[in-house]
Amino acid sequence: MSCNLGLDAKLYYDVDGTLAAATWIEVDVARDVTTSASANESETSDRRSNFVTTCPALLTLETSVTCTYENGNTQLEDLRNAFLNRTSVLVAVMDGDISVTGSQGFVYYAHVYSNDLSQPLTEGATVEMTFKPATPPATDSTVNPQWYTVA
């Protein structure tokens, strides 16, 4: 039996490519990465039931990451610039190396919705970021976030 450790998982981004031609940059200063996927509810109740009935509607995807802060780190600078300039980045949240066949995870265009610098007195400084899906550029036909498996 094998076990999948968060230690082996990888977070990547690409600032100016398309999924087919991405130049993936690993965020090696990432500590904790959490991707949440959920569905909005659409109420479908009618008089046939005394219970509220629902069905899944639009899907929601969000990735939160805590990174070790390093002054001058190009990964953090790229993602901070995407936040400040309100530009999208291509994000891959993978269970392993993106160059290894069989690795899988969510891949999507995202905006950076937070870039919080934390400087606790007795711990290392961190940056917390939140990514949510963005409309992809017209140059890429990949519209929706997708579960991607490296072939």
Q: Is residue 51 part of a domain?
A: yes
> What is the C-alpha separation between 78 and 129, in angstroms, rounded?
12
**CA 136 to chain centroid:** 14
Q: Is residue 25 part of a domain?
A: yes
Please report, for the domain that includes residue 106, its CATH number. 2.40.30
Q: Structural domain tally of the chain?
A: 1
Query: What is the tens place of the pLDDT at every residue in 127-148?
Result: 999 999 998 877 776 668 999 9
Q: Is residue 29 part of a domain?
A: yes
Q: Is residue 100 part of a domain?
A: yes
Query: What pLDDT score was predicted for residue 143?
Result: 67
Q: Is residue 45 part of a domain?
A: yes
Q: Is residue 1 part of a domain?
A: no
Query: What pLDDT score was predicted for residue 137?
Result: 79
Q: Which residues of 50-71 are buried (b: 16+ CB within 10 A; e: fewer)?
A: eeeeeeeeeeebebebbbebee
Query: What is the tens place of the pLDDT at every residue in 40-68?
Result: 999 999 999 999 999 999 999 999 999 99
Domain extent at residue 143: 6-149
> What is the C-alpha separation between 105 and 115, in angstroms, rounded?
23
- Sorting pLDDT into bands at 50, 70 and 90, what band is 150? very high
Query: What pLDDT score was predicted for residue 140?
Result: 74
Q: Is residue 122 part of a domain?
A: yes
Query: What is the tens place of the pLDDT at every residue in 85-139?
Result: 999 999 999 999 999 999 999 999 999 999 999 999 999 999 999 999 998 877 7
